[in-house]
Structure 1
Amino acid sequence: MTIEFRGVTKRYEGGAVAVDDMSLTVPDGSMTVFVGPSGCGKTTSLRMVNRMVEPTDGEVLLDGRNVRDIDPAELRRGIGYVIQHAGLFPHRTVLGNIATVPLLSGWSRRAARRRAGELLDTVGLPAELGSRYPAQLSGGQQQRVGVARALAADPPVLLMDEPFSAVDPVVREGLQDELIDLQRRLGKTIVFVTHDIDEAVRLGDRVAVMRVGGRLAQYGTPSEVLRHPVDDFVAGFVGKDRGYRGLSFLSADGLEPEETATVAIGSSPGTSDRWRLAVDDDHRPRGWLEPGSTVDGALTEADLVAGGSLYRRGTSLRGALDAALSSPASLGVVVDDAGAVVGVVTSRHVLDVIERHPESVGAT
């Protein structure tokens, strides 16, 4: 379902303008991220889609139909909505929370709870959590339940208002991965609000950068925004390191991993003057053994140095560079889809690929 903003303005009593003459189209089945500083109208724009805020001027259309022509209750039941801190009902179980919209839409209790159980698996939560209450869940689990609740009636549109901003960075990255995977499988039309440019370029098919005063500064693909900011405001907002962020959109074709010395957990490794990568029985990396290390008996993970981030083969160059720079051995570990070691890369390998395609990261 396509979402279109046509000359939309929101002006409050006293003359304060939250959104100023915004026009853009969110393509069907895509994820568009609204990003900008506080007070730029991101959330107001989002909430005009489901009529929680009414525009002063202009139109918001769903597949060409003005949302003002749709009953608000009917409209909202057809749009998933996820907010910060999940907004779960504290007195309802997890299954009860997820089943809320299907029940309001006339589903039978049995069908609604069956759907809720299916969605627990969809968002990566174990079935046994269904009988718990929100207070018994971690922040990350609550956010997953919030996403499941928004998806329960299978809406074509999903609105997400800074849903991951209240969780720690590790959990946040996991939730972003879950959302990317869900979108790949479900193909919803998603409008996502964030103040974090890294989150915006990681998640969005398109990014709308907004400035204070509710003006749309630039709208385009993440790579377009990073490589060709339209003015000093956008350039400053995306940051001086936007060339590094641009690696997220540069293919790793030509980046060939090299072999590295490995040692198995549980073995007697002896000594070496080289860094050695420790692997488990499935050849998955567990950490590094420092040069000159001696181990009494069998090698355990307690003997290892943490290995830094991993690079999954076939993804963008940014992940490869992260892996190389975060590794204590300056060797980025490359893994396959099963998590098994393929080889290693260095930052020099990544730079060689970049130098063959300088235009791809040419943000200045």
Structure 2
Amino acid sequence: MARAWGARLIEFQSVTKAFDDGTVAVNDLDLTVEAGTITVFVGPSGCGKTTSLRMVNRMVEPTSGRVLVDGRDVRSADPASLRRGIGYVIQHAGLFPHRTVLDNVATVPLLAGWTRRRARSRAAELLEVVGLPEEVGRRYPAQLSGGQQQRVGVARALAADPPVLLMDEPFSAVDPVVREGLQDELLRLQSELDKTVLFVTHDIDEAVRVGERVAVFATGGVLAQYSEPPELLARPANDFVADFVGRDRGYRGLSFVAGAALRPDEVETVTVGAPGVVSGDEWLLALDEDRRPRGWLRPRATVAGPLSEQELEPGGSLHTLGLPLRGALDAALSSPSGRGVVVDRDGRAVGVVTAHQVLELLSTERAAADSEPEGGR
């Protein structure tokens, strides 16, 4: 009896893919994707990242070398059976337009021999898991937004509970706000499901946000660097990686610097709806009755009647206390007052912080890290 494919690592062993016209898409790739992690392949167009991913489920065959899943060469498996055991999510979701959402999600379980009732029950469960209401299951793909379609695509890939999930630029076709929400959803799902995820993107910000390890590919299908995001941002392996990661990699690196030591300053506040407000020489932070930030009142402003939100300047982004310092710096830089608003987990204001404070704290923490003995790291 054939052994089931399990949640194990994916290995590329000296894998090369060359096409008939002589183009080398992947050049001698040696790489291990650890079980239960999200690994991201990132790089410019034509660098071989999607080709590498598609060799895992045999949609592309290597010219030489081996691709192993759970220690087994994928070429030893029937392609159809292999693909039913590996989830696959693509750009634009790739849903069947003539099937309802519920039947789209139930596709792979039905192919695997599940009863229709069991497959549809599993599909309904997964719609809830990916954050879609029950009634969406009765709709057709054309009736959904782009973000909803991508969530359905993820649900369909998870339907038969595969140990491996391949995601080929799954969120690139949606707007930035929806995209960030989908990234958060992926991270939440991974914390619960513990899949081995191989994720392809051309966006370095997305790569370092969702990836536990990131593989940067250079043109010609060469692996330029493979490391954890903080290491990638702090120590690019060569000029190509440094250029690809970008000159603002230090700012991106703040995403991995804990903000537990940040101590917000107090700020003078005013409540929306308060009558007869005079701001004096300082910006006033306007809060609602639950102490949630609503904006800033400019210096030397006089409001005779109740203070309304129309009289406020938008407040920029908010930083949640305890999260990485990138959010604190962004809050300070985006605030019209030059002071970023810091909130607790419930969104209530606890104080403000300046960019100077964030950079000072970063300098202090880096100095402390550099002074640690080698064994303490």
TM-score range, shorter chain: over 0.9
Structure 1 vs Structure 2 CA RMSD: 1.8
Are 2:165 and 1:158 aligned? Answer: yes
Please give the alpha-carbon distance, in whole angstroms, between the structure 1 residues aligned to 2:100 and 2:16: 40
Which residue is 1:351 aligned to? 359
Structure 1 residue corresponding to 2:321, chosen from 310, 313, 320: 313
Identity %: 68
Structure 2 residue corresponding to 1:116, chosen from 123, 138, 158: 123
Q: Which moved more, 1:47-56 or 1:255-264?
A: 255-264
Residues 209 and 219, structure 1, Cα contact 8 Å, conserved in 2: yes
Which residue is 1:241 aligned to? 248
**Deviation of residue 244 (structure 1)?**
1.3
**Deviation of residue 122 (structure 1)?**
1.7
Structure 2 residue corresponding to 1:193, chosen from 192, 197, 200: 200
Which residue is 2:312 aligned to? 304
Please give the alpha-carbon distance, in whole angstroms, between the structure 2 residues aligned to 1:90 and 1:182: 26
Please give the alpha-carbon distance, in whole angstroms, between the structure 2 residues aligned to 1:296 and 1:145: 52
**Deviation of residue 342 (structure 1)?**
2.3
**Deviation of residue 360 (structure 1)?**
9.5
Which residue is 1:324 aligned to? 332
Q: Deviations over 1:300-347 (max 9, x none)?
A: 333322211111222111111111111111121222222222222111
**Deviation of residue 194 (structure 1)?**
0.7
Which residue is 2:14 aligned to? 7
Which residue is 1:100 aligned to? 107
Which residue is 1:211 aligned to? 218
Are 2:338 and 1:335 aligned? Answer: no
Which residue is 1:41 aligned to? 48
Q: Deviations over 1:227-281 (max 9, x none)?
A: 1111111111111111111111111132111222233333336111222222334
1:192 is paired with a residue whose SS is strand
Which residue is 1:51 aligned to? 58
1:10 is paired with a residue whose SS is strand
Please give the alpha-carbon distance, in whole angstroms, between the structure 2 residues aligned to 1:10 and 1:359: 45
Q: What TM-score, normalized to structure 1? A: 0.94
Please give the alpha-carbon distance, in whole angstroms, between the structure 1 residues aligned to 2:12 and 2:37: 15
Residues 67/357 of structure 1: CA separation in 2 closer, same or farther (3 Å cut): same
Aligned length in residues: 362
Is there any run of 5+ residues in structure 2 with no aligned partner, and where? 1-7, 371-377
Q: Which amino acid aligns with 1:131?
A: R
Are 2:138 and 1:138 aligned? Answer: no
**Deviation of residue 359 (structure 1)?**
6.3
Please give the alpha-carbon distance, in whole angstroms, between the structure 1 residues aligned to 2:88 and 2:308: 46
Please give the alpha-carbon distance, in whole angstroms, between the structure 2 residues aligned to 1:125 and 1:300: 35
Residues 282/91 of structure 1: CA separation in 2 closer, same or farther (3 Å cut): farther
**Deviation of residue 81 (structure 1)?**
0.8
Residues 250 and 360, structure 1, Cα contact 8 Å, conserved in 2: no
Q: Deviations over 1:61-97 (max 9, x none)?
A: 1111111111111111111111111111111112121
Q: Which moved more, 1:322-331 or 1:257-266?
A: 257-266
Which residue is 2:258 aligned to? 251
1:357 is paired with a residue whose SS is helix
Please give the alpha-carbon distance, in whole angstroms, between the structure 1 residues aligned to 2:369 and 2:100: 48
**Deviation of residue 47 (structure 1)?**
0.3
Which residue is 2:230 aligned to? 223
Q: Deviations over 1:276-295 (max 9, x none)?
A: 22233432222222223334
Structure 1 residue corresponding to 2:284, chosen from 265, 276, 287: 276
Structure 2 residue corresponding to 1:72, chosen from 71, 79, 96: 79
**Deviation of residue 193 (structure 1)?**
0.6
Is there any run of 5+ residues in structure 1 with no aligned partner, and where? none
Please give the alpha-carbon distance, in whole angstroms, between the structure 1 residues aligned to 2:101 and 2:289: 37
Residues 360/25 of structure 1: CA separation in 2 closer, same or farther (3 Å cut): farther
Q: Which amino acid aligns with 2:244?
A: F
Please give the alpha-carbon distance, in whole angstroms, between the structure 1 residues aligned to 2:113 and 2:297: 60
Residues 248/109 of structure 1: CA separation in 2 closer, same or farther (3 Å cut): same
1:59 is paired with a residue whose SS is strand
**Deviation of residue 162 (structure 1)?**
0.7
Residues 243 and 361, structure 1, Cα contact 8 Å, conserved in 2: no
Q: Which amino acid aligns with 2:287?
A: V
Q: Which amino acid aligns with 1:303?
A: E
Please give the alpha-carbon distance, in whole angstroms, between the structure 2 residues aligned to 1:16 and 1:98: 37
Q: Which moved more, 1:138-147 or 1:120-129?
A: 120-129
Residues 57/306 of structure 1: CA separation in 2 closer, same or farther (3 Å cut): same
**Deviation of residue 361 (structure 1)?**
11
Residues 319/134 of structure 1: CA separation in 2 closer, same or farther (3 Å cut): same
